[in-house]
Chains A and B, each alone.
Chain A
Amino acid sequence: MVEQIAQHVMEVHGEAWTIKELFTLPNEYIYWSIQIVMYPFMTGLVAGAFVLSSLYHVFGVEKLKEIARFSLVFSFALLPVAMMPLMMHLQQPLRGIHVMMTPHFTSAIAAFGIVFSTYACIVATELWLVYRKHFVQSALELKAKQNPGLVDKFRRLVFTALTLGAWDISHEAIEKDHKACKIMAGIGIPVACFLHGYAGFIFGSVKANALWMTPLMPVIFICSAVVSGVALCILCYVVVQEFRKFLAKRKLARWANDSDAPTVEELEGAKHMEVMLSSNYLLYFMMAALTLEILDLIFRGYTQVKSWDILREVIMERDFVKIFVMQYGIGNVLPFLMMALPGRTVRRTTIATVLVLFGVFMMRYNVVIGGQAFSLSFAGFMDYHLPIIPHSIETFKEGLGGALAVIATPFILFYFINKFLPAFLKEESTH
């Protein structure tokens, strides 16, 4: 079937990965494919990472200090990536700016440009407040340097620009920074929740789609967003700390030779404490997300409205493995037990976070693709086949290649951002 379709001279959008069964309307295809799965997944990670960092900044959970700073930088690296799947999905990517130019506010997508930019500004401001001292110090240090090379000149320029001309790093000025930072983080939490809640609204408000249309959708999306964000932060934090431990042991990195460099034991201790505490928050949000999802399912099954016949066939039969085995079983129950059962270790928690991330991804997949798995005629089905080997730009963008590009980008960005905003900067000043 797929081969036959590929031979068509005029391939329409969606035809390459949709297999239709029984009676589907002629124009029905899986128009929203893997990139739209990636979109809520990535915005979820952004929002979740930010919420984790705010736990420290706003509520003063002092023990989360190190992971908070890491999550903040990481959520900044994730920011452009939340937009990337949308741009890759658009049929007219060059016109993407129209969302900012003529926003039609009765559309859930129209607010995206504005909410997203607001949120980006908040995260950037918070980062500036946290790192201003570092910018000033680095700029001064580079200025004092004799015979600076080209790289140093460039770095000096960047750091000088980053200070925004605020060179005062007296104790009072830094105190002001901390206070402002706290306020920004406070504003940031509702904006982060809004950013992601309305990603849920984009789906929940589509009245034509029987699976999507539920007022619970935004709330489910927020909870699972926090779950995925916290899980990713824990995972990355453990990986980075392991790497630092490795460097500290072998004295490979420049910082490892400093007199005040953290020892292997210090790193191990910090990691253990941070992971244990954040995984508690992970558990709370998982419970909330799972409760809501199950509630939604039970409600649909109990009320049995017109669409239930076809929904039941999709949920209970066609997508059973994807929903109950992969999403709920491997992605929710198993990691929940791994973290909730006594004798929890960092290693067990780390494996659990990988499973949690998988579970949240499957949830997005089952919502976005599952919502298009049945025809509007309620008499036919559509099966999604992820294009793995692309035969055109479209099958690359909306295929495995595009999805992997989206996943890889935040890590690449994090590497470069980390050059100017070191996520593991030692901070001696107190709050």
Chain B
Amino acid sequence: MKSHVWRPLYVVIALVVGLLVFRFFYVPHDFGSGKRGFMYSFHRLSNEAEWKEQPAKYGTTGRERMHEYCSACHGAVVKVRSENFHGIIPCEDCHGPAMNHPEAPEKLNIDRSRELCLRCHTNLPYTTSERKRIPGIDPKGHNPGEQCVKCHNPHNPKLEDMK
């Protein structure tokens, strides 16, 4: 090892040591593998908690726990709704995410647009899909440009109960 030709090797070793020292301080110490091993779960372990801590925007108005959140205050409206065709639609689909309502926001931003209704009520000639069970209109022919809620009550959409 006395020969001068080894000198580049010393430089390389110095570089590697420098890099490892830097790495020691740079890499978060909780880097490791979960129970799925190195291939599928090599990660910064604290990231899982970071994801869990993200705030949720929507409450529980979905199909699984129907309108539970809203009925605490708006029980009467929710009841009307639940007995109708539209009872399957979660409140937040039209009323927007509850977030911390009633504190923040105090009032929800309701989507009353025609486009919202057309998501389900555009007539599509698809007899083999769920769409066939929903009454549909031709958006270009049925009062174009008008908001549906002007005539139809979204909480009680029965045509015979129409104003």
Contact = CB atoms under 8 A, between A and B. Distances in A.
- Classify A-B as touching or not with yes or no (CB < 8 A): yes
Given A165-B7, A173-B4, A102 B19 contact: no
Contacts of B42: 102, 104
B65 interface: no
Given A100-B19, A101-B23, A106 B39 contact: yes
B31 interface: yes
Interface string A90-106: 00000001001110111
A121 interface: yes
A106 B38 contact: yes
Given A102-B27, A129-B8, A164-B8, 5 more contacts: A100-B19, A176-B3, A176-B4, A176-B5, A180-B5
A121 B8 contact: yes
Given A104-B42, A106-B38, A121-B12, A166 B4 contact: yes
A226 to B, nearest CB: 26
B26 interface: yes
Interface string A202-241: 0000000000000000000000000000000000000000
Nearest to A177: B5
Given A100-B19, A101-B23, A102-B27, A129 B5 contact: yes
Contacts of A176: 3-5
A62 interface: no
The interface residues of chain A, by DSSP majority, are classed as helix
Interface residues of B, number: 17
Interface string B4-16: 1101110110010
B4 A168 contact: yes
A176 B6 CA distance: 11
Interface of A: 97, 100-102, 104-106, 121, 124-125, 128-129, 164-166, 168, 173, 176-177, 180
A120 B92 CA distance: 58
A357 B12 CA distance: 34
9 contacts: A97-B26, A101-B27, A104-B38, A104-B42, A125-B9, A125-B12, A128-B8, A166-B7, A176-B5
A119 to B, nearest CB: 12
Contact of A124 (B5, B8, B19, B27): B8
A176 B39 CA distance: 45
The interface residues of chain B, by DSSP majority, are classed as helix
Nearest to A113: B19
A123 to B, nearest CB: 11
A210 to B, nearest CB: 23
B5 A102 contact: no
A129 B5 CA distance: 7
Nearest to B39: A106
User: Could you say which of B3, B7, B8, B38 has the most chain A C-beta atoms within 10 Å of its C-beta?
Assistant: B8
Interface string B31-51: 100000011001000000000
User: Could you say which of A102, A104, A129 has the most chain B C-beta atoms within 10 Å of its C-beta?
Assistant: A102
Contacts of B19: 100
Chain A to chain B: the 8 pairs with minimum beta-carbon distance, closest first:
A166-B4, A180-B5, A125-B8, A164-B7, A106-B39, A121-B12, A101-B27, A104-B42
Contacts of B23: 100-101
Contacts of A166: 4, 7
User: Could you say which of B15, B23, B27, B42 has the most chain A C-beta atoms within 10 Å of its C-beta?
Assistant: B42
Contacts of B9: 125
A128 B12 CA distance: 13
A99 B61 CA distance: 44
A268 to B, nearest CB: 37
Contacts of B8: 121, 124-125, 128-129, 164
A165 B27 CA distance: 35
Contacts of A100: 19, 23
Given A121-B12, A164-B11, A102 B4 contact: no
A102 B30 CA distance: 12
A121 B8 CA distance: 8
Contacts of A101: 23, 26-27
A21 to B, nearest CB: 24
